[in-house]
Each structure stands twice: as C-alpha cells, then as structure tokens.
Structure 1
C-alpha cells in the first residue's frame, strides 16, 4: 500500500489531509467529529486574547462556486483556548491552534498559552480578509510578518506556521516569515469578496465584505503554493478549494506537503476527508509512487 505519511513543519502526520481553521474547530465535540472522520491533525478556529462576539448575521452565504463568509473571528478568548486544547489532546491527533493578534506581543502571548495547554503547533492567522486591524492588514507588510513570527518563534518551542493570504508581496512575506523562525507556511486564506442582493440593493453579508472560499479560489491557491515553493522550497500546507483527491494532489504537486479542507466540509460533511485520503492512495498507485513525499513539488521537475 502506498505510504501517505508525511512530515510537515516538524509534525509527523499519518496522511496529508486536515481541516482548515474555522471549520469544526470551535468545540471539543466538533474536533472529535474531525478525529472520527480521519483528519491527520486538528486545527482550531482562530483565537484572540479577548473574547469576540463576531459580526451580525448573515455571516455566510453560499455562492455558485464557493462560500462567502464574514464571521468576525468570534471566539471565547484566552480562557476558551486553554479549555478547548486540553479537551482535544485526548483525541490522539496533533492539535494545531490558530491564533489572531493585533501586535507581535499579543501573538506571542496567545502562542504561549496554546503551547502551555498542549498544542502541537501554532498557526498564525496573518491573512483574515475581514478583521479590522488583524489578519490580512498585518500580512500585507512583509516586515510586520517577520516581526510577528520572530516574537512567537522566540517565545514557544512548538512549530510555528504562518498563514498568509493573497498579497502583492507574498513571496517576500513568505521569506520574512521563514527567516524569522516559521517552520512552515499555510497558503492561502480566503479572498476579499462581496455579494449584493439585487432586490434589497445592499450587500448580503452583515459585514458587507467577507472572504471567498471554495472551488473559485483553488487555481489561485495552486499558483501561490507553486510560486512560494519555487522560491523557498519550504514546508507548505496548501489550502483553498480542496474538494477531492485531484485538487489535493494539485497543491501537493505544486509544493504542499499537506492540505487543509474547509468549504467542502461545510457543504458535504466531514466524511469528505476520508474520501480524499482514499483517492490519494489510488492516485499514488496509479502513477507508481511509493510515498506521497515523492510527489511534493513534482510539478517543478516536469
């Protein structure tokens, strides 16, 4: 049987498929569902230092080729982070805690709390497209990315993953993150987008602007992973429109060592994780690969 086990950013994974932050990552029960579905790691929703209520509804709207959402980073804050991670540790999977701060110090504080609670790694949300003063606003500036990653990497011992979105200087920002101590990158986040109700004549989301995910952004994610891997040859977790084994394989061939699934879990259920894993097994056998490692970045060699 072809081997799907992979090592990414210092984490040993039984296969390359996990959930994306914000999808079934907000409660012990939800993380247990992911573990039962076979996710190789459990990624929490993004936690901030103070509790956040999030935006007014509607916060998510299905579109023909994806999902538009603006949740607003709703979460219970630091205390909720500790409780969730401690509860999830018993599920037998590495727990990756997503954190979102507004300053390097705040990111470092959140990362320290996650590590103390038992996180296997932290994922720095430097790419949320609709949280004012956080996320994409920070990730747009490579220097700021470097400062935040350095603050976190010098504070914790667990692997640090920087989640970057689609910005003009993505390859440069990726280099700054890696140079500052990130063990790997997560590419990409949702894209800033909007939908308007033509009868109400106003934006459909409560926050007006949200993030577009799903199949519509997949080619963008493939391009981002390909270009960053070509320049840096680093450990990458690819995310964006992973719907089946084929879309997962595209990101792996572009340079990703693992993938995250988001919208497909929302629209089809967490069982899609197992379907993707089985599909990747068949694909490896079809192309004559003995391990998934052989295919990482293979598109750069052909």
Structure 2
C-alpha cells in the first residue's frame, strides 16, 4: 500500500485527512482494541439525546439476506454524560469529533447544538433528522422539506461549526429534502440513514424485531444509496457523505464516483471490527492500481 499525498477531503469548513469514518451507532470507544482511531478521517459516536433514554424493546437486531435490521433506538445516557465522559474519551485522538444529535423538536435540536456546537473538542455536528418529530405526529423531521429547512436554519443561528444533515431514505424525493437542507444552511449531507423494514418469524408469526419495524442496512442497500447519492449530487452543491452498505474499499470508491466526498461505514464493522481501516487501505490500493494521486479527482466522476 502506498501513502498518497492527498486523501484529504472537505466537508464545509472541516478538513478530513481521509474520507473514511464510522456511521453513528456503529462505533464506540471499545473499538480502540481493533483499530487505530488516529488513522480514520473522523470519529462519529452514537447519536446523543438531551435526556437519558433506554432504547427500544428487545430483540433489537435480526439478520436478513445480505443485511440486517436493527431497532436499537436512540439509547443514550444524555447530554450531560456525553459532555463529561464521551467527548473527553475521544479528545486524545487526532481524528476530529463529529457529534451526532437526535432531538424531539426543532427547539431541542437548536438547544443541543448551541452546547455541542460551541464545544472546543467538537469539530462538526451531524443532525439526525431521521428521528421522529414529536410535534409533527411522529413523522421524521427529514420527511418534510419545510421542517428540514427550518430545523437547519434554527441550528445554524447558534453555531458556526459545520452542520451535516443526516437524511432519511424513506422519502419520495431525496433531492427535495437535500435542497431544503442546503437552503437552511447545511454544510454537508449524509446520504443516508437506514431504510425502514420488517421481518417476520414464519414459525411464530411474530415480528423478529421488538419494535416491529427497524432500519435495514448492509450490502443489500448499497445500490439504493449509490442511486440517491447520484441524484442528490445532481441538484446540490454540498459535499455528500455516503452511508449504507459499504463492505469494501471498492464499495466506498463507487459512492465517491457517484458524487460522495466521504463515506461512513456501519454494518461492516459488526462483521469485521477492523473494517474502517481495511476499507481505507483498499481505497488506497485502488488509487495505486488506477494511477490516481488525489481522491478528489474521483468525486462525481461517473461517466453517463
């Protein structure tokens, strides 16, 4: 493997030394036993809520053909714990910390962003607008363009840190939502969170997930995410973080060619704890094989 002079990518004002980072919810401090955190582009711990939450009913995970369904819920120890313990646990690493926020209202997103978005050790905020809006009949914030625009705009008022909108794929037009996030003042777009899915045990006739439905991830969703990345890149000038189904370096390269500037890895780390650094090495090998010196030359390079 050859080290290249430019694996750096930018998400708004945030510079990443390489485009590989974990997906929120698929990463924790214990992974230090498997990988060197200083080698990845950014650190993205599980989404944080204002108050402690226990998460969803069990069972929370089930395997499917070429993927998995999970319904962990935003299990969280709350903002105070995050400030006192989670952030300090990651401060010793070179990789910038991106805090992923989940909230129950636009006002709560802004309130939490004003705290985390002005913390010296938080480099950027990922706004998980795929979570339900309790003031909007439980519909996810990111399913409504007007709500998305308003949420980002209100958050933008309280921090100058890069804002990354984590979009839901469970919409009719992801382009419409992406444009709304851009208009609201987002600096980047995460495309995308998990797809809503359900599995049933045919012997018991009961759902395999305690919450009945959950988020589908894994290699089976990658073609859908690649399509969404390409569609969003056609209408938005914002950098895109591709997320969903990456299992190899070539999977990550495919998303970058479709229009992503960076990628997040989730399910692969459950299968192989070293997936993040393995995928980065495979991406560098691909660049070596194809004579590419700058990862940015690949972004949106798909030939149609």
Give the TM bin, normalised by the shorter chain: over 0.9
Whether 2:232 is the aligned partner of 1:228: answer yes
TM-score by length of 1: 0.93
1:189 and 2:193 aligned: yes
Query: Which residue of the other structure, out of 239, 262, 265, is the alignment partner of 2:266?
Result: 262
The alpha carbon displacement at 1:80 in A equals 1.8
After superposition, residues 42-191 of structure 1 pair within 5 angstroms as: 42-83=43-84, 84-117=86-119, 118-128=121-131, 133=134, 137-166=140-169, 167-191=171-195
SS at match of 1:212: strand
Structure 2 unmatched runs, 5+: none
Kept after mapping to 1: 8 A contact 2:25/2:47: yes
Contact 1:215–1:241 (Cα < 8 Å) also in 2: yes
Matched, 1:244 2:248: yes
Q: How far 1:91 sits from its partner (Å)?
A: 1.5
Asked if the contact 1:24/1:31 (under 8 Å) is kept, the reply is: no
Q: Distance in 2 between matches of 1:227 and 1:35?
A: 34
CA distance in 1, matches of 2:31, 2:107: 30
SS across alignment from 1:61: strand
SS of equivalent to 1:152 = helix
State the Cα distance separating 1:9 from its structure 2 match. Answer: 2.4
RMSD: 1.9
Structure 1 runs not aligned, ≥5 long: none
Question: Secondary structure of the residue that 2:21 maps to in structure 1?
Answer: strand
Whole-angstrom CA distance in 1 between matches of 2:118 and 2:90: 14
Q: Secondary structure at the match of 1:73?
A: coil
**Does structure 2 retain, via aligned residues, the 8 Å contact 1:248–1:259?**
yes
Distance 1:245 1:74 in 2: 30
> Corresponding residue for 1:41?
42
1:143, distance to aligned residue in structure 2 (A): 0.4
